[in-house]
Structure 1
Amino acid sequence: MTISTQEQPRGHARRWLILGVICLAQLTVLLDNTVLNVAIPSLTREMDASTADVQWMINAYSLVQSGLLLSAGNAADRYGRKKMLIVGLALFGAGSLVAGLAQSSGQLIAARAGMGVGGALLLTTTLAVVMQIFTPEEQPKAIGVWSAVNSLGFAAGPLVGGFMLNHFWWGSIFLINLPVAALALAAVAAYVPESRNRQGDRPDLVGAVLSTIGMTALVYAIISGPEHGWTSGRVLATAGAAAVVLGVFAYWESRIPYPMLDPHFFRDRRFTGAVGGLVLITFGMGGALFLLTQYLQFVLGYGPLEAGLRTAPMALTVVALNFTGVGTKWAAKMGTPLSIAVGMALMAAGLVSIATLTGHGYSGTLLGLVLIGAGTAIGSPVMAHAVMSSVPREKAGVGAGINGTLAEFGNGLGVAVLGAVLNARFAALVPVAAASLPAALAAAGSDRERAEITGAFSSGLETSLLVGSVAVLLGGLLAATLLHRAGRADRAGHVDGADGAERADRAQAHPAQGQADA
């Protein structure tokens, strides 16, 4: 059965079962986003991988996925969201199999790139299907569950990876995807309805190529900035190429009758408020949480599995609030603008707690993680729904692609910029000449120097987390303000439209009175 995107006023009869299937498919991608990090020492040792090899093992996946998100969403809208979901699962499973059996760094990098293609299709189609099968009233709750699975995947990745590495070889972290992908594939084929845009838009092949090249170049510049220097020729050339290509993409999309990304979306205050806030929020959160994992391992001395366990309260808070529907109920009572403002304020407070209370041990970090989890449970689903609801139903795949692209962009930029803030502060305070914390500790000649080095790192972390908290708070206030203004404008337009209709009815029944009203 194929569902027209313009012909479903009611929710699908099996929508909650389908949501479970979609979340299972989503989980396969989310686990892989973080599971590889704990395997880096094993890969370095067993495959004799260089630092550059390890970086490409991680970056090949994110580069391909980020570059293809918009094109994947457009393909899902045009050719069918169920069909693209099946293709994404198949590609992701095949890539996982090749990665698990790889015999060299090159093979693993190629397999990760293939997994990135599947991941792009999965991330866009899952959210697009949610928007199709649920009624507008149920969409916030459904997106809350979808968002909770995102957090669960983020937290479970290191735990699953650590468990697998403790019992099996490094390839098992990829092969574990196979049964999950196979189960999700069978469930999608059996239960998920097909939906597509029936308007028959012509494929925007030029736009797809330009967006893929531009986003890939932009993400590569962000990723390589900390390693090669922001003013290096490689980074500047790549960033310049990205700006030119994305500028041509924007011009092309404004000139053709069937654009992949309609420029008119950005004239909607709800859309611009949601996407602007999303970038700033993921900037602050992505960078801050990346630095927190370093603090737990390098300063407090936890192993990867222990560090994963100690960051888990954040995800567990999200899961508890969203799976029980508490987060959605709070958001419904407060309304979209206030929910975003409150959620982001809680997240910013959590980052401040981690920054200022780490000297008291893990308790300050735990408080911060719980606050971040509560803020995420309230604010993130509302933000995602604001993005998706401001895009036409027939463009749900593109909307999900925009949501994913901006989240990836903000996250990558946050890691790069807040990492640079940390490194600058660390370099100014560290008593020995070293480019990183491990190198500085290796060069330290006494316990006093080691204490000064970890103190310098902690100071740099505190500064970075505070910068991240400001970005999160500003993002929440920006989004809340623009969404509040958009809602007020919509209400005023609705009242004006109702008054106009009433005057027209009176004019038709009583022509003389109608002329007086005019």
Structure 2
Amino acid sequence: MAGQRRSILVMMCFALATVVSAVSSLNVALPDMARDTGATPTQLQWVVDAYALVFAGLLLPAGAIGDRFGRRRTLLAGLAIFGAGAAVATTLSDPGALIAVRAAMGLGAALIMPATLSIVTATFPAGERDRAVGAWAGVAGGSALLGLLVSGALLEVAAWSSVFALSVVLAAVAIVGTVRVVPARERHERKPLDPLGGALSALALTALVWAFIEGPQRGWGDGLVVGGFAAALALGAAFVVWELRRAQPMLDPRLFLLRGFGAGSLSVFVQFFAAFGLIFVLLQFLQLVLGWSPLEAGAALAPMALVMVAVAPRVPRLVERVGVRPVGPVGLALMAVGLVVLSTMDAGSSYWHLLAGGLTLGLGMALATTPATTAIVSSLPDAEQGVASAVNDAAREVGGALGIAVLGSVLADRVGEIGPGMDATAFVDGFGAALLVGAAVLAVGAVVVALRAPSAAAVRAPAVARRGGATGGA
């Protein structure tokens, strides 16, 4: 039985890495894609962002579908959609069609990601669950960086379509592995779905992420951007009102008043705000200021990913020794220190400078991610692990989209036009300012999480249904 559980964990981490790496891996292929397809800068932006937009918007309803119809079945459907979309993308040369296909892949990813975590939490008993979640969290944090390395290597020998071909292969392997190791018969609750709640949450998150994506390009005062934020606020409020009135809500908003659920969600949000924003501006710095190739830039970030993957599964042992409350905030603080170190880089900086900041950040993220994810999934009963996983994933994706938008805007405000002929000194100044903004967000997050983190007993206790009303207690 223990061997079967390990096999399930390995396969769920593999499926997770397949969709997480697809968020970032296409970034290094954009110059080649622009040359071959004639895509405009706006079209290139949406080839990347269509995936993230649909992915984030559909996570909550996708998690609820997994709870209702079975996580294995939902995972296989998501992998099939994701792989089929990637296969179609290898044959395309029209930017509009590529945007549509990436959106379809985002639908597949939304079905996959919550299912992987909920299968892990349902498979492992309480005494082993924290370490399994730690392994999942390490892969979730490191896969985006490893995806850049693999994509950069592919582009040294093949065309940009090879990035999609790799996704096809990974999805196929994940399907075969899931069929072989995940039991076909699983327990799941036959509770009614919440179509209106799912639609409201999807539209609210979609409007929010869209506004953050378009804000840097159109301007934050643009009517469409302001309208996007207003729509997100109105739809989010409608979702809260609707869910509070339902006897069996898809997601009870009062759960965010619980220490573990609320603090964990905030921690995941600020972690990926900083991490995705860093990747966005750092890749440009390495290639445009230091003159590194895509492969060199991806390889430079690999140690950060390896630290996350290696350390995260060991964090539960640290938590057992020192308690849960100090570990997450210390991790967020270390991430902030790493960003401060990286913010001092300039055109003459060495790789060792990058490594010092990157390893500090990677270690901090490994320490912060596992307690945060564990606190979220421990707050809901086994029958609702799909929704718990979806909240964890939505906090990650929305935080990442906001991080890219905010840190990218700080950089763009200092530099203006980014590309050949730009002012390198202005770019360095903007790069440093952007990372200091990320560090400040992490520092604030560390303080709030330290004040609201749950006790170790609360995290270890079996989750119970809290439909009668959540409280802010530990």
TM-score if structure 2 supplies the norm length?
0.92
Aligned counterpart, 2:338: 350
Query: Matches of 2:287 and 2:187 in 1, distance apart?
Result: 46
Query: What is the rounded CA distance, in whole Å, between the counterparts of 1:166 and 1:362 in structure 2?
Result: 21
Partner of 1:274: 264
What is residue 507 of structure 1 aligned with on the other side? none
Q: 2:442 aligns with which of 472, 477, 490?
A: 472
Paired residue for 1:332? 320
**Residue deviations 1:273-305 (CA, integer Å, cap 9, x gap):** 211222223222322332122211111111211
Identity of aligned residues (%): 38
Task: Measure how far apart 1:12 and its partner are.
Answer: 6.6
Does the alignment pair 1:375 with 2:364? yes
Is the 8 Å Cα contact of residues 149 and 302 (structure 2) preserved in structure 1?
Answer: no
Q: Is the 8 A contact 1:90 1:181 kept in 2?
A: yes
> Pick from 425, 434, 438: which aligns with 1:455?
425
Equivalent residue pairs, number: 458
Q: Tell me how far apart the structure 1 counterparts of residues 160 and 123 of structure 2 sit (CA, whole Å).
A: 39
SS of structure 1 residue aligned to 2:311: helix
1:270 maps to a residue whose letter is G
Alignment partner of 1:230: what SS?
coil
Structure-1 separation of matches of 2:110 and 2:128: 25
3-state DSSP of counterpart to 2:248: coil
Segment drifting more, 118-127 vs 280-289: 280-289
Q: After the TM superposition, which segments of 4 or more aligned residues of structure 1 sit over 4 Å from their partners?
A: 357-360, 486-491
Q: For the residues of structure 1 that align with 2:364 and 2:320, how far apart are their CA atoms? A: 15
SS of aligned partner of 1:253 = helix
Q: Structure 1's 128 and 333: CA in aligned 2 closer, same or farther, altered over 3 A?
A: same
CA separation of 1:29 and 1:490: change in aligned 2, threshold 3 A: closer
Work out whether 1:303 is the aligned partner of 2:293: yes
Greater CA deviation, 160-169 or 213-222? 160-169
Task: Give distance in 2, aligned partners of 1:96 and 1:203.
Answer: 30
Greater shift, 415-424 or 85-94, is seen at 415-424
- Equivalent of 2:280, from 290, 295, 313? 290
2:405 to 403, 407, 416: 416
CA contact (8 A) 2:67 2:188 kept: yes
C-alpha distance in structure 2 between counterparts of 1:416 and 1:304, whole Å: 22
2:419 is the counterpart of 1:438: yes
Matched, 1:389 2:378: yes
Cα displacement (A) at 1:112: 0.8
RMSD (Å), alpha carbons = 2.0
1:245 alignment counterpart: 235
Letter in 1 for 2:448: L
Q: Which residue of 2 aligns with 1:83?
A: 73
Letter of the aligned partner of 2:133 in structure 1? I
Q: Which amino acid aligns with 2:417?
A: S
1:490 Cα offset (Å): 9.5
Instruction: Indicate yes or no: 2:404 matched with 1:404.
Output: no
Aligned partner (choices 107, 116, 121) of residue 126 of structure 1:
116
Within a 5 Å distance, the mapping from 1:181-192 to structure 2 comes to 181-192=171-182
Matching residue of 1:201: 191
Report the 3-state secondary structure (helix = DSSP H, G, I; strand = E; otherwise coil) of the residue aligned with 2:43: helix
Corresponding residue of 1:38: 28
Give a deviation string over 1:107-141, Cα, whole Å, max 9, x none. 21121111111100111100111110112221221
For structure 1, the residue ranges without an aligned partner over 5 or more in a row are 1-10, 428-434, 442-452, 492-518
Deviates more, 1:293-302 or 1:116-125: 293-302
Distance 1:489 1:190 in 2: 35
Q: 1:233 aligns with which of 223, 226, 230?
A: 223
Contact persistence 2:142–2:304 (CA under 8 A): no
How far has the Cα of 1:488 moved from its partner? Answer: 8.4
Whether the 8 Å CA contact 1:330–1:378 is kept in 2: the answer is no
Instruction: Tell me if the contact between 2:211 and 2:226 (Cα under 8 Å) persists in the aligned partners.
Output: yes
After superposition, the Cα gap between the structure-2 partners of 1:440 and 1:166, relative to the gap in structure 1 and judged at 3 Å, is closer
Larger deviation, residues 339-348 vs 162-171: 162-171
Name the CA shift for 1:25/1:277 in 2 (closer, same or farther; >3 Å): closer
Code of the aligned partner of 1:353: V
Which residue does the alignment assign to 2:54?
64
> Which structure is larger by alpha-carbon Rg, 1 or 2?
1
Please state how far the C-alpha of 1:385 moved relative to its aligned partner.
Answer: 0.7
Cα drift, residue 267 of structure 1: 2.7
